[in-house]
Chains A and B, each alone.
Chain A
Amino acid sequence: MTDIPALAVEDIVSGYGGGPVLDGVSVSAPPGTITAVLGANGAGKTTLLRTISGFVRPRRGRVLVGGADLARRRPEDIARAGVAHVPEGQGVITELTVEENLRLGSLVTRDRARRAAALDDAYRRFPVLAERRRRAAATLSGGERQILVIARALMSGPRVLLLDEPSLGLAPRVVAQVMDLIRQLRDEAGLTVLLVEQNARSALGIADTGLVLNLGKVVAKDNAATLAADVGLRRHYLGF
C-alpha cells in the first residue's frame, strides 16, 4: 500500500459552531479499498463525510483527493472532482422518476455518449431500476431506494464513494445484498469507498481497513480483521 491514497483526510477539526465535532481526525484510504468508519451515535461519523463532501467547512486540516486539497471548496465542486456522497436516509428525489434521478447523477459529464453509457451500465447492473425507470422514485421500497442512490452516485464515474449508513432501515437480507454490491464495486470498478456504518459486523465483513471514532477522535485504526477480532473494542465501541 505505497500508492498515493485516493482519499486522505489530514488532521481535520470540524463542527457546526460550538465545540468541534471532529477533533484532529486523519484517514488515509488507498485506491480500490473499503474503509469502514465505525463508532457510536454522535461519534462524528456523519460529520466526517459531510466535511469531506463540503457541507461542513473544516476549521483546520486538509482533504486530499488524488493529491488535490478540496477542503473548504463548495459541495458541488467537490462532487465534480470525483467524490460521490450517498447521504443517510432520504437521498432520493422522490418527485423525479427513477431515470431522472439517475440522469441527474451523470450531468457532471459533458459527453452525451458517456452519459448514455453510464445509464446503460446502471440498468445492466441493477435490473430492478430498469423495470421501474419511468416510475416516480417515491414509489420505490426502502431497499430499492438505497440501490437507486448508490447507482446514481456511480453515474458520474467517481473516484471516491462516501456511503453513510447504507444499511439503515433495511431488512437483513437486503443489507447483505447492499454489502455484496459495495464489495463488487471495489473489486470490479476499483472504487475507493468510505463506509460509515452502525452495523459494524457487516461493515468489517467487507472492509479492508477500519477506524473507530469516539467523541470526535480516532480511537482505533487497523485492518478490518484485526478490529473485528478485538474483543475489548467490540464491547466498548462496536456493540457486537
Chain B
Amino acid sequence: MQEFLEFTLGGIATGMIYAAIALSLVLIWRGTRVLNYSQGGMAMFTTYVAYVVIRHTGNYWLGFVLALAAGLVLGAVCERTVVRPTEGKAPLNSVIVTIGLLILIEGVAGIIYGGQYRSFPAAYSVTGLKIGNVSLGISPNDVFTAAAVLAAAGALALVFRYTAVGLRLRATAFNSGVARLLGVRIGRVLTLGWALAGLFGALAGVLVTPTTFLYPNSMDAIFVLGFTAAVIGGLDSPVGAVIGGVLLGLVLSYAGGYLGSQLVLIYGLVVLALVLMIRPSGLFSAATTRRV
C-alpha cells in the first residue's frame, strides 16, 4: 500500500513532464500536421541557456524564465526559417527537416558546451516528503513540477477558450482554409503555435533535467516518452496530451516500481506500440485515421 502510494504520486509527477512535451508536440501537430522531431533537442538547448544563466548569476528563477523565453524565440525562429518552406509539400519533407534540425541543434550544443554530463539544479528540495511517518515518494520539487505544468496548461486552455488569439489558433487548427477566408493571417498563427510549443518544451527541459543530467542527447528519451503520451491523447487534443502524459507516467512508475526500473524506456516503447496497434487514433482524438 505504501509502495503503491509512492509509485502513484511519483508517476503523476513524472507524467506531468511527459504531458508538457506532449503538449508541445500537439500544439504544432494541430496547426501544421508536422511532427516536430526536434522538440527534445530544442528543449535540451534551452535548458543549456538556463544552465549558463544560473551559473553566472546564481539565480535559478532568472535562468528558468530565460529558458522559457528562449523556447518561445527558438520555436518561432525554427518555424519561420526551416519549417515554413516545407509547408504544402509532401509530409516526408517536414519529417526530414525536423530530424535534420534535431541533429543540428544537438551538434551545436556539443560544439558549444561539450559532451560531458552536467548536473542541473532543481527549484526546490528533492528530498522526499512525508506525512507523519508515511513517505509519499515525491519531493517538494516534484510538487512544483506538477504545479508548473498544470498552471501552464491551464493558462493555455484559458487563452484558447477566451481570447481572440486562441480563437485564431483553434480555427486554424480545425480548418485553415476557412480561417484564411475570414482574414486570419495563418502565417503568424503558425509561428505563434511553434513559439508556444517551444515554451512548453523548454518548461519540460528545465523540470526534468535535475533528474537526468544535462548533455546534448539528454532529452532524447524524454522526447520519445512525450511523443508516446501525445499519441495516447490522440495528437490532436491538448487535454488528451495532459491525460496521456499522466497515464503514461503512472504506467511507467508502476512498471518501474514493481518490475524493475532498468527498462523504463522499453516499457514506454511497449506502451507506444500497444496504443498504435489497438487504438491508433488515441483516446481523445475525433479523427479516425492518422498519417505519421
Q: Which residues of A contact B (CB under 8 A)?
A: 53, 55, 74-77, 79-80, 84-85, 87, 91, 93-96, 100, 103-105, 107-108, 152, 156
Name B164's closest neighbour in chain A (CB-CB).
A107
14 pairs across A/B with beta carbons < 8 Å? A53-B181, A75-B180, A75-B181, A76-B186, A84-B181, A87-B181, A91-B178, A91-B181, A93-B171, A93-B175, A100-B171, A103-B164, A103-B167, A104-B184
Name A100's closest neighbour in chain B (CB-CB).
B167
Chain B nearest CB: distance from A50 CB in Å?
A: 10
Contact A85–B181 (Cβ < 8 Å): yes
**Residue numbers in B under 8 Å from A84 (CB-CB):** 181
Contact among B168, B180, B181 for A107, CB-based, below 8 A? B168
Name A108's closest neighbour in chain B (CB-CB).
B183
Contact B167–A76 (Cβ < 8 Å): no
CA distance A135 to B186 in the complex (A): 25
**Residue numbers in B under 8 Å from A87 (CB-CB):** 177-178, 181
**Residue numbers in A under 8 Å from B170 (CB-CB):** 95-96, 100
Contact B171–A96 (Cβ < 8 Å): yes
Assuming the contacts A76-B185, A156-B183, asked whether A95 and B167 have C-beta atoms less than 8 A apart, the reply is no
**Residue numbers in B under 8 Å from A85 (CB-CB):** 181
**Residue numbers in A under 8 Å from B168 (CB-CB):** 104, 107
**Residue numbers in B under 8 Å from A91 (CB-CB):** 178, 181
Chain B nearest CB: distance from A107 CB in Å?
A: 6
Name A87's closest neighbour in chain B (CB-CB).
B181
Assuming the contacts A93-B174, A95-B174, A96-B174, asked whether A79 and B182 have C-beta atoms less than 8 A apart, the reply is yes
CA distance A85 to B181 in the complex (A): 6
> Closest 9 interchain pairs by CB?
A79-B183, A108-B183, A75-B180, A80-B183, A76-B180, A95-B174, A76-B185, A93-B175, A93-B174
CA distance A80 to B177 in the complex (A): 15
**Residue numbers in B under 8 Å from A96 (CB-CB):** 167, 170-171, 174
Contact among A74, A77, A105 for B182, CB-based, below 8 A? A105
Chain B nearest CB: distance from A194 CB in Å?
A: 14
**Residue numbers in B under 8 Å from A94 (CB-CB):** 174
**Residue numbers in A under 8 Å from B78 (CB-CB):** none
Contact B182–A152 (Cβ < 8 Å): yes
Chain A nearest CB: distance from B157 CB in Å?
A: 15
Contact A104–B167 (Cβ < 8 Å): yes
B179 is an interface residue with CB less than 8 A from chain A: yes
* Besides A76-B184, A104-B182, A107-B183, 8 other A-B contacts (C-beta < 8 A): A74-B180, A79-B181, A87-B178, A87-B181, A91-B181, A96-B171, A107-B164, A107-B184
CA distance A156 to B182 in the complex (A): 8
**Residue numbers in B under 8 Å from A104 (CB-CB):** 167-168, 171, 179, 182, 184
| B107-137 at interface with A (beta carbon < 8 Å) | none
- Most chain A CB neighbours (cut-off 10 Å) among B170, B171, B177: B171
The 0/1 profile, CB within 8 Å of A marked 1, for residues 150-194 of chain B is 000000000000001001101100110111111111100000000
Contact among A77, A93, A103, A156 for B178, CB-based, below 8 A? A93
- Most chain B CB neighbours (cut-off 10 Å) among A55, A84, A87, A96: A96
Name A155's closest neighbour in chain B (CB-CB).
B182
Name B186's closest neighbour in chain A (CB-CB).
A76
CA distance A82 to B183 in the complex (A): 9
**Residue numbers in A under 8 Å from B184 (CB-CB):** 76, 104, 107
Chain A nearest CB: distance from B281 CB in Å?
A: 16
Name B184's closest neighbour in chain A (CB-CB).
A76
Name B175's closest neighbour in chain A (CB-CB).
A93
